[in-house]
């Protein structure tokens, strides 16, 4: 529990560390009093080596993941200072540590988008209500979730304005002005923006009233080009998920029922969270001519004929941060893949006597400089107000991949101790790594790579051991009720799909691109099936 971090505070006297708070109170405490402020009441002035008592108390800062996944998730977000609730129901404040993860996501994707020929730009967030109504399935999908501006500058507006839930409509309105000839195509743009959807059940990062995302929008002369683009973008998202965030998503096509409101085809990447629920982590839509017909987005082709453009849109949002937390985190807290960790290495200097302090701090500083110069994102936690043990636990909870410890004996032997966040206890601890710059840098960089791979491997094996191949509805139901994903041949109707949802709570997450071989028989109808689908409960 977060409040127990205040040592010795009034709260810890009132609620001994072993007391279980009522869940509601715990939530309120976690999200209102972040640890760093609560922690400020700790005894100051002395720094000591790690002690088991510190570790014990801090272990209880976060509800164990195995005990209550949702409580654990909220605790991690509060304790690791990733986000906080905003004053308006369902809104979220993204705090610096959480925002830095989003910045890492942006930095990577922004480069990929530009490499593949997209330009950033910005569309206004206020959309005339009439625009939303133009594309029939779009209005059906989005109208229940809209926030409407009805007053501006003190006056009731003649036409109410929609705060964008997504921008296909306004994008098409502008595309009609920019696209005239085939020479204007393809038109490929992206924007980083906030969007608003009036969700009833919200959860930080996963589903909030307002969230941040990028939305790409493209227009092409042929359906083949649009299809190629939609596939290219889901491929970029897939690589990003695997290589940067160590999340082994399954990429595939959505069923008709789960397709985006206004798309012909939606491609998706589906991630398995630690509780084995699926998270839709990114989507890429082939919009066909749905919006271009609704908005009259036309071009003159090489033969002088007027044609409607073929379009795509694709998005990844701050939800991805939630996916990272729920894929890699453990009972201790957050665990960040090195490639997107805001801090890759934390250095904790350890001293008992003041006579040791100078030598230890100066060694710690030079280690910091060496790593920083080598491009490693490193933090030196040299405050005297916390014990080394407290710091160990704090940075573990924040998910920093590597900790370097430097004590007086290390200084005299010119060595450091290196601990991996992903391997708890002594097994993840290596003593006697030379401080000699080239040795240390090479060691740290290799270990970062190793951690990155190891997180991915672990996630892959978790994912694969939790997907069951099923050949009948009974098997599907058994798999779902045991908390797993079910994969089986499917060629049944929309209403059969709806029935599965109602009876099991699971939906078709996708028809994966990677299909199993062999003759397939629909698990529901026994008819021939061309593809397997993946069913799972989802966020």
**Cβ 148 vs Cβ 198: under 8 Å:** no
CA distance 429 to 421: 9
Binding site for its own copies (CB under 8 A): 32-34, 36-38, 40-41, 84, 86-88, 91-96, 98-100, 102-103, 119-128, 131, 143-154, 160-161, 163, 170, 173-174, 177-181, 183-184, 189, 193-194, 196, 198-200, 209-210, 212, 385
Minimum CB distance to its own copies, residue 500 (Å): 28
Minimum CB distance to its own copies, residue 105 (Å): 13
C-beta closer to its own copies: residue 23 or 93 = 93
CA distance 242 to 251: 11
Q: Name the residue with tokens 């209550």.
A: 68
Minimum CB distance to its own copies, residue 320 (Å): 14
Task: Tell me the β-bridge partners of 88.
Answer: none
Contacts of 171 (CB under 8 A, 6+ apart): 123, 189, 217, 291, 313
CA distance 204 to 85: 8
**Cβ 455 vs Cβ 463: under 8 Å:** no
C-beta closer to its own copies: residue 36 or 442 = 36
C-beta closer to its own copies: residue 7 or 534 = 7
Minimum CB distance to its own copies, residue 146 (Å): 7
Q: 306-308 and 298-300 as β-strands: parallel, antiparallel, unpaired?
A: antiparallel
The two three-digit tokens of residue 43, written as one number: 């005894």
Kindly list the distances between the CA atom of residue 325 and the CA atoms of 72, 236, 312, in Å, as whole numbers in the listed order.
10, 21, 29
Minimum CB distance to its own copies, residue 352 (Å): 23
Minimum CB distance to its own copies, residue 396 (Å): 21
Minimum CB distance to its own copies, residue 123 (Å): 5
CA distance 488 to 268: 18
C-beta closer to its own copies: residue 149 or 478 = 149
C-beta closer to its own copies: residue 266 or 292 = 292
C-beta closer to its own copies: residue 23 or 28 = 28
End-to-end CA distance of the chain: 25
Minimum CB distance to its own copies, residue 21 (Å): 19
The two three-digit tokens of residue 502, written as one number: 């109602």
C-beta closer to its own copies: residue 144 or 223 = 144
C-beta closer to its own copies: residue 193 or 261 = 193
**Strand, coil or helix: 415:** strand
CA distance 537 to 506: 4
């Amino acid at each position: 529990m977060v409040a127990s971090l205040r040592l010795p505070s009034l709260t810890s006297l009132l609620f001994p560390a072993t007391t279980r708070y009522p869940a509601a109170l715990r939530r309120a405490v976690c999200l209102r009093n972040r640890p760093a402020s609560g922690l400020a009441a700790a005894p100051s002035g002395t720094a000591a080596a790690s002690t088991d008592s510190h570790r014990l108390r801090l272990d209880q800062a976060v509800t164990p993941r195995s005990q209550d996944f949702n409580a654990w998730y909220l605790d991690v977000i509060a304790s690791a200072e990733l986000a906080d609730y905003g004053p308006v129901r369902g809104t979220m404040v993204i705090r610096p540590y959480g925002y830095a993860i989003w910045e890492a996501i942006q930095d990577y994707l922004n480069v990929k988008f530009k490499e593949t020929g997209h330009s950033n730009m910005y569309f206004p967030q206020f959309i005339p209500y009439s625009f939303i109504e133009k594309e029939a399935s779009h209005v059906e999908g989005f109208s229940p979730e809209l926030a409407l501006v009805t007053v501006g500058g003190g006056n009731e507006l003649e036409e109410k304005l929609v705060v964008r839930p997504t921008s296909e409509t306004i994008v098409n309105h502008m595309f009609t002005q920019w696209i005239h000839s085939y020479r204007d195509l393809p038109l490929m743009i992206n924007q980083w923006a906030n969007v608003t959807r009036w969700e009833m059940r919200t959860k930080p990062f996963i589903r909030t009233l307002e969230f941040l995302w990028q939305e790409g929008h493209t227009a092409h002369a042929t359906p083949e080009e649009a299809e190629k683009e939609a596939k290219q973008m889901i491929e970029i998202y897939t690589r990003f998920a695997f290589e940067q965030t160590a999340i082994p998503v399954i990429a595939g096509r959505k069923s008709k029922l789960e397709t985006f409101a206004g798309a012909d085809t939606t491609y998706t990447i589906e991630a398995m969270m630690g509780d084995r629920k699926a998270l839709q982590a990114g989507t890429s839509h082939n919009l066909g001519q749905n919006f271009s017909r609704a908005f009259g987005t036309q071009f003159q082709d090489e033969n002088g004929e007027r044609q409607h453009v073929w379009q795509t849109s694709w998005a990844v949002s701050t939800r991805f941060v939630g996916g990272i937390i729920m894929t890699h985190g453990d009972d201790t807290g957050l665990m960040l893949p090195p490639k997107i960790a805001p801090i890759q290495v934390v250095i904790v200097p350890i001293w008992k006597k003041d006579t040791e302090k100078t030598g230890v701090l100066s060694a710690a500083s030079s280690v910091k400089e060496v790593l920083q110069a080598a491009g490693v994102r490193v933090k030196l936690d040299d405050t005297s107000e916390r014990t080394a043990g407290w710091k160990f636990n704090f940075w573990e909870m924040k998910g920093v991949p590597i900790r370097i410890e430097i004590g007086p004996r290390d200084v005299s032997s010119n060595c450091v101790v290196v601990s991996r966040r992903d391997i708890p206890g002594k097994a993840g601890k290596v003593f006697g790594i030379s401080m000699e710059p080239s040795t240390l840098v090479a060691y740290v960089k290799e270990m970062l790579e190793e951690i990155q791979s190891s997180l991915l491997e672990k996630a892959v094996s978790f994912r694969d051991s939790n997907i069951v191949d099923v050949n009948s509805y009974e098997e599907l139901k058994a798999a779902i009720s045991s908390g797993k994903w079910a994969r089986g041949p499917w060629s049944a109707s929309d209403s059969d799909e709806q029935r599965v949802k109602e009876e099991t709570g699971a939906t078709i997450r996708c028809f994966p691109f990677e299909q199993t071989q062999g003759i397939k028989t629909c698990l529901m109808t026994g008819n021939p099936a061309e593809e397997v689908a993946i069913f799972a409960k989802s966020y």
